[in-house]
Amino acid sequence: MPFTRRMLKAMGIEDDKIEQIIDAHTEVTEALKADRDKYKEDAEKLPAVQGELDKLKEKDAKKDPYEDKYNELKKEYDDYKAGQTAKETKAAKEKAYKSLLEDIGVSDKRIGAILRVTDLDGFELDAEGKIVDYDNLSETAKSDWADFIVTKRAEGAKTQNPPKGEDGSASTGRAAQLAKEYHENLYGKAKE
């Protein structure tokens, strides 16, 4: 049964109160209609949203639960493998460059320091582990590290303190022995 002015008059309510009741009732009714319209729009969207949700559930159901874990472990392994390969390559380049420095005569004491300051990423190695363009790099290294190249020269025996012989004489060489025999033949054996 509708809520009308006639019904309110029949109840014995005064006219000014009837207007207040009708205005309040209209405000409530309009608010309820606005809520109804909003819920109706939401209800119309619900089948589309439910369809998307069902598709996502199907996709997740088909997805292997271990796939993410596998991909994560594979990435860790690939990173580790790349790191190890980089270490091995660096070690091979250091060995090859050290050999080059030894070949040009750099002091053994300075090779470690030179290796620490040299950018080995600029070198390439061939299949045998030798530096590509060895001759040019050798010449460059000779000029760059010239202060560290040791020149070797042959030295004779030091004669300031010759070794003592069995008889206490200063020399035990062949010349000293011949001189002693010659002296004994001329003058006889020396008295002891």
Q: Tokens in use for 11?
A: 């109840």
- Comparing 165 with 117, the larger pLDDT belongs to 117
Residue 64 tokens read as 């292997």
Task: Decide: pTM greater than 0.85.
Answer: no
Residue 152: pLDDT above 80? no
User: What confidence category does residue 167 fall into, taking pLDDT thresholds of 50, 70 and 90?
Assistant: low
Nearest to 61 by CA among 69, 53, 49, 51: 53
Least confident of 18-22, 65-69, 137-141, 146-150: 65-69
Based on DSSP, count helices (H) and strands (E) in the chain, helices before strands: 6, 0
Joined together, the tokens standing for residue 32 give: 């309820």
| 128-150: pLDDT as tens digits | 888 888 888 888 888 888 888 88
Average pLDDT over all residues of the chain: 83
Mean pLDDT computed over 151-176: 68
